[in-house]
Structure formats: C-alpha cells, structure tokens
Chain A
Amino acid sequence: MRIKIIASCVLMMLMYAGAQAQVKHKAKPKAKHSTTTGLAASIAKGKTVYMQTCVSCHQVDGGGVQNMNPPLIKTTYVLGDKTKLITIVLNGFNESVEIEGNTYSNTMPSHDFLKDEDIANVLTFVRNSFGNKAPAVTAAEVTKVRAAVKKT
C-alpha cells in the first residue's frame, strides 16, 4: 500500500514534468482552441446545472440507482437523437420502458423550468462525461424543441 503510494507519486511527478515539456513544443492552432473552450465552457456550466438538478437521481458518476433511476452512461437516449433527448428533459419521462435491458421504477419530472441555455449546457455536459462522447447540444436546438413540444 505504502509502496504503491510512493511509486504513484514518483510516476505522477514524472508525468507532470513530461507534460510540461510537451506543452512547450506544441503550437496552438488558434481557431480550434476557441471552439474547444466554447465546448469546455458549456460543459463546465452544464456540470453546475447537473449538480443542482440531476445529481440526486442520476448520481455524481452518472451511474444512476439500481432499479430506480437509469444510468446516463452510453445509453441510446444520451448518445442518440438530440430532439428526443431534449424532450425528455423538457417533458420528463415516465414510461416503463427498458433502458439497456433494465426497467426503472421512479419518475423523471419535467425540467421545463430550466432556461434553454441551461438545458443545452447540461446535456452537453452529460454527452461529454461519464465516458460519453457525442456532439454538443445548443440553446437554439432547445428553443426549437421547446416550441414544437408546446404546440402538441
């Protein structure tokens, strides 16, 4: 145990030094940088929303709760069609459907009190956390879905 800790400390130091050395050599492509910070900012803001409004059910690690609340890890809903995903957050979700082979006996309430931007950010956070990788959701997309949902 102790040896492991010492070893990992040494390793950490080496890795850090290595990373520092690498940074110096890398040229920063300007345009790309600004889109990644846009994404990074959206993810960061989305995390704040998540930790306020989703965490109690879907948990800090996105793993959900056995038999109660589904995980947000690589599910077809999280990675799939954005309109469907945005609708789940706007309308809530309470259909006894199977999610990756399990059913969940809790209710997901509507979160239509969240601003379009908050919904975009939280979904962008979810789609880029917990091992997920999927394109960002924009506030404009949420606005569109909200308008469509209202009409029906």
Chain B
Amino acid sequence: MKNRKFITVILPLVAVCGLILLNALKSDPPLKHRNIADNAGLTLPTGFTGTALITGIGSARHIAVTPQGNIYVKINRLKNGKGIVVLHDSGDKAEVVSSFGNFSGTGIYIKNGYLYASSDENVYRFKLDAKNAVIDPEHPETVVSGLINRHEHEAKAILLDNAGNLYVNIGAYSNSCQVKDRQKGSMGQKGCPILDSAAGIWQFKADKLNQHYGDGVRYATGLRNVMGMDWNYQDNQLFVMQHGRDQLHDIFPEMFDQKQSALLPAECLYAIKKGDNAGWPYMYYDQIQHKKVLMPEYGGDGKKAGGENAIDPAAAYPGHLAPNGLLFYTGDQFPAKYKNGAFIAFHGSWNRAPEPQAGYFVVFQPFKNGKPDGQWVVFANGFSGSQAQTESGRAEHRPCGLAQGADGSLYVSDDTKGTIYKITYKK
C-alpha cells in the first residue's frame, strides 16, 4: 500500500526528469561552439574579431570616432555631472581621457572641425583643434534650441551632410496620435497636430547659431521616431530607420492577437528626399503582407490599404527590434561585399511581451548603387548574453550607436552596461 503510493508519486517525476535529461543531452552543443568569450561574447562572421574596449562608462548612446583614435561618447544619464566621455583607443582597449558637457542626450557627430552633440531639446557644438580635441569643453555654442521634449521619443539623433546642413530627428510624443496616447479604444486625432512640430526630420544650417523651429525646414514628415540615420554618398541622400508603432494588440485586441502584435508593424529603412512623407500616423508598413496598411486608429482593420501619399520603405525588418544606429560602411578593412552597405544596430524589443523578445544585434544590409540589394543578415550577435536573456528582454548589453574608424574598424556602443565594442577584420 505504502509502496504503491510511493510509486505513483515518484514515477511521474522520474519520467519528467528523464525527459528533461534527454533534452539536455540532445541540445547541449559541443563546447567549442559555445566558447565565444574570445570575441567579447559576440558571434561574428569568420575572420572578424570583437573586442570590448572598455565597459562601465554609463548609458553610451551615439558615438563619433576621430582619425587620431579618440572616441566621443554621448551619455544619456549624466555621469559625475558629465554627458560626453572621451576615450582613447589603444588597439585592444580604451581608457577615459576626459569627460565634459553638462547635458544628457543621444546625438553626437563630427563635421568640419566641430563636435556636434544634442540634448533632448538642443543641439550644441564644440570647436575642435587640428587633432580633433575639443578646445573649450566648458563653453559649447548653441546651434538649435527649444525642440519639443514631452518625455516620449524625446532623444534627438543628429547628422550633418557635406552641404552645410544639420539634420535633427524630432520624435513624435505619441505612439499613434490617439486622442489619448496608448489608451485602448481611443481613436486617432484628425489632422494629427503632432506633425507640425515633431514626427519628422528637421533641417537646420550647420554653422548658424541660436536657431529655432522657424529657422529650420521640416525636411521629412510622417516618421514616428528615428534614432539611426546616415547619409548615403553613393546616391547622395539621407537614409533613416524608423521605430514603428507599439501595442497593436493592447489597443485593438479584437483585430490583432499577441503573436501578430509582436511581429507587426515593420521597422522600416527609408530613403529620404526633401519633402517626403513616410505616413505616420495614418498607416504602418506590414512586412508580411508587403504593404502599407491603414492605421487602426484611423479606421484600419489590419488589411485595408493606407498611406497613398506615403513613400515605400527601402527595406523592412521585423517589428519592435528598435533600430538605434545606422551606418553606411565606406571603409576598406572589411571584405568588399560590405562596402557601401548598411550596418543597423537593433537595440532590442520590449513591446513583444508576453511573446519572446528579439533583437539586441547588429544587422548588415547589403546595398548596390545606393539601394538595398538582397537579404539582410545578423552580423554581430550575442550582446544579450544568452538566448534566454534575449527572450526575456533582460539583455546584458544593448547595441545603440555605430561609428567607423579611420582604419575601417566598426565601433558599437552599448547603453546598458556602457561597453564600447570594436569589430575588426583580418584575412
């Protein structure tokens, strides 16, 4: 009697354990494939080496590298009261040279003898000497001020072209321009008023001080939020990566289940010409149906087409991966197929829960004659630490900014642990 009870209790347990064991035996990959520590935890294509130059420097957002091997890092949360850290890269490690700038923010860019950097409202610049060192770190010039910051998509990514223009992303302070932001059942505002002062790329003069909205041009509109942007010199135009909308299921549960909501809409790469409209908030791009779909807040049902006046994306990627950095590779160090292609740093998703999260990697998008050409591939993976950390969203590192060194090395910043990675190639 007692024995039988024991068996009924223990037997199923033994069976379950047996199954777990079997699975563990089956799925344990050979050890040599798991030994990735020698690339700073990154998985890279053959011939590439990953190095963590330094870690713990704060919330490292965008980065700029000088020919002298200095790295300027924009910090999002002031560290010891400073928002810009200067590193020197001595090959396989970097040390902190100095830090300055009493403003937090995301954007940083070097052009024409100046270091440009943004807070969430303003763009500043610091004059550089012949060795690209900041001459007077205490007294930046204010290039643009008073840009809208309503604590949603407030980071101002910046970029300069060769024609004396400064481009600033002004993100929408909203998910989908609902009357009540992110509220279930709340519909889209007619003639979305946000578009007047945000949800686009504004163009300013690179060397005129104290500019405001009125001095700038709304260069492109209908872009919900952009962090990654770069100039493509092959066809001489701006490319941007949009962060697509969140919460299709939360807001319209009867139209989208949690699985669809995890994948949709696409994160889009757009080739921008002056005056372009990418369609937010009236449409989103569905990468599975390959079409522009009317936004449910504006009468859509997940199928009806929308965005008749909106440009098509140049390429589309799975939803919510959060593209925070875009860089056209123009170096000679990497194999020829990388030249003029795009690297995209995907910060990683959060809006896929309760479905598994994804991203936390750097993607390579091949290009030909200034147009995406062929399937994108994951170029650098492993930032999160493990598959489980990717799926739970508890990533150890999250790639954010990208920069190219004078020798063609690729630099990647991580704003979670404050790590700066360098990726190099040797035949």
Contacts and interface: CB of A to CB of B under 8 A. Distances in A.
Nearest to B357: A59
Interface stretch (A32-40, A77-85, A104-112, A143-151): A104-112
Residue among B154, B181, B352, B394 with max Cβ neighbours from chain A (10 Å): B181
A109 B353 contact: no
A28 interface: no
Contacts of A56: 246-247, 249-250, 261, 350-354
A9 B21 contact: yes
Interface residues of B, number: 42
Contacts of A107: 151-152, 174-175, 181-182
A66 B416 CA distance: 8
Given A9-B20, A12-B17, A92 B354 contact: no
B76 interface: yes
B9 A16 contact: yes
A107 to B, nearest CB: 5
Given A5-B20, A56-B249, A105-B151, A17 B10 contact: yes
Contacts of B246: 56
B353 A52 contact: no
Given A2-B25, A20-B9, A105-B154, A68 B17 contact: no
Residue among B180, B184, B253, B392 with max Cβ neighbours from chain A (10 Å): B184
A67 B261 CA distance: 22
Nearest to A65: B350
Interface string B244-262: 0011011001000000010
B163 interface: no
B217 interface: no
Contacts of B261: 56
Interface in A42-69: 51-53, 55-57, 59-61, 63, 65-69
A75 interface: no
A96 interface: yes
B185 interface: yes
A68 B76 CA distance: 13
A94 B393 CA distance: 24
B183 interface: yes
B152 A106 contact: yes
A1 interface: yes
B28 interface: yes
Interface in A82-133: 92, 94, 96, 103, 105-111, 113
Contacts of A5: 20-21, 24
Contacts of A41: none
A117 to B, nearest CB: 18
Residue among A6, A94, A107 with max Cβ neighbours from chain B (10 Å): A107
Contact of B393 (A9, A13, A65, A96): A65
Nearest to A103: B151
Nearest to A13: B13
B182 A109 contact: yes
Interface string B22-66: 001100100000000000000000000000000000010000000
A61 B13 CA distance: 27
B14 interface: yes
Nearest to B249: A56
A113 B184 contact: yes
B2 to A, nearest CB: 11
B247 A2 contact: no
B353 A12 contact: no
Contacts of B76: 67
B265 to A, nearest CB: 15
A113 B6 CA distance: 51
Contacts of A66: 398, 416
Nearest to B248: A56
B257 to A, nearest CB: 11
A141 B181 CA distance: 27
B350 A92 contact: no
Given A56-B246, A66-B398, 17 more contacts: A2-B25, A5-B20, A12-B17, A16-B9, A56-B247, A56-B249, A56-B352, A56-B353, A59-B350, A61-B392, A63-B394, A65-B393, A103-B151, A107-B174, A107-B175, A108-B182, A113-B184
What are the nearest 7 A-B pairs in CB distance? A9-B17, A109-B183, A65-B350, A109-B182, A107-B181, A105-B151, A96-B151
